[in-house]
Amino acid sequence: MTWKEVLKAPALTLEEQKEIQELIRFQNLSQEEAERKIRRKVGKLGQRNQPTYDDYMRNYKSEIKEEIMVKQDIIKKDIDLMLPRGKQKVLKAEDKDYDRGLLVKLLKNGGYEMAYWAGKHEPYPVEVLVDGKSIKKDAKKVTMKFHPEMEKKRGEK
């Protein structure tokens, strides 16, 4: 708390003002330091300009309501994980023998970039099948593009 934050401080008595002068003279304190020390001693610091408990709770409740609404929307759609656009997420397999999983990123154009990882969170070679047919035996990254029909609908909005 800085001295400038103190507002509406109660007036000091003559005795308290004399004590302040003594502190300035004998303890080599500045006017502000001495006055602050006396105000602390007698409990006359005043009130800080800060949000009240009610303000805090009102803001907190509105944040909680927003979070609940988002979670309810996710539950309604049976969604397990929301992918933020442009940010890679690491998914780990429930596997006791190996440390492995997927790296998934929702691209800005609406597509997805995926990679298999094992050990380190870096793309690791893996065989890729499309419609049951092997496309590549040692692919590191797979990109799925935004569906053309969905692209048309997005352009109509």
Half-sphere exposure of 155 (CA within 13 A, CB side): 8
- Across 1-10, 30-39, 103-112, least confident range: 1-10
- Calpha distance 100→121 (Å, rounded): 8
- Tell me: pLDDT of 136 over 90: yes
pTM listed for this prediction:
0.48
Q: Does the structure show a pLDDT above 50 at 138?
A: yes
More confident residue, 27 or 141: 141
pLDDT at 50 over 70: no
In tens, the pLDDT along 58-100 reads 888 888 888 887 777 766 666 778 888 999 999 999 988 889 9
